[in-house]
Chains A and B, each alone.
Chain A
Amino acid sequence: GAGVSQSPSNKVTEKGKDVELRCDPISGHTALYWYRQSLGQGLEFLIYFQGNSAPDKSGLPSDRFSAERTGGSVSTLTIQRTQQEDSAVYLCASSLAASSGETQYFGPGTRLLVL
Chain B
Amino acid sequence: GDSVTQMEGPVTLSEEAFLTINCTYTATGYPSLFWYVQYPGEGLQLLLKATKADDKGSNKGFEATYRKETTSFHLEKGSVQVSDSAVYFCALSDWGHNTDKLIFGTGTRLQVFP
Residues of A near any B CB (own CB < 8 A): 31, 33, 35, 42-45, 48, 55-56, 58-59, 91, 93, 95, 98-109
Does B82 make an interface contact (CB < 8 A)?
Answer: no
Q: Are A100 and B95 in contact (CB under 8 A)?
A: yes
Q: Are A42 and B100 in contact (CB under 8 A)?
A: no
Shortest distance from the beta carbon of B51 to any chain A beta carbon, whole Å: 4
CB under 8 Å from chain A, chain B span 1-55: 30-32, 36, 42-46, 49, 51
Which of chain A's residues has its CB closest to B29's CB? Answer: A100
Shortest distance from the beta carbon of A40 to any chain B beta carbon, whole Å: 11
Q: Are B107 and A101 in contact (CB under 8 A)?
A: no
Within 8 Å by CB of B93, from A43, A100, A106, lies A100
CB contacts (< 8 Å) of A33 on chain B: these are 101-102
Shortest distance from the beta carbon of B86 to any chain A beta carbon, whole Å: 14
Shortest distance from the beta carbon of A61 to any chain B beta carbon, whole Å: 15
CB contacts (< 8 Å) of B94 on chain A: these are 100
Known: A101-B49, A106-B43, A106-B44. A56 touches B99 (CB 8 A): yes
Q: Are B43 and A99 in contact (CB under 8 A)?
A: no
Q: How far is the CA of A107 from the CA of B44 in the complex (A)?
A: 8
Q: How far is the CA of A100 from the CA of B31 in the complex (A)?
A: 7
Find the residue from B32, B43, B103, B106 having the highest chain A CB count within 10 A.
Answer: B43
Which of chain B's residues has its CB closest to A106's CB? Answer: B44
Q: Are B99 and A108 in contact (CB under 8 A)?
A: no
CB contacts (< 8 Å) of A106 on chain B: these are 36, 43-45
Find the residue from B32, B36, B102, B106 having the highest chain A CB count within 10 A.
Answer: B102
CB contacts (< 8 Å) of B36 on chain A: these are 106
Q: Are B101 and A103 in contact (CB under 8 A)?
A: no
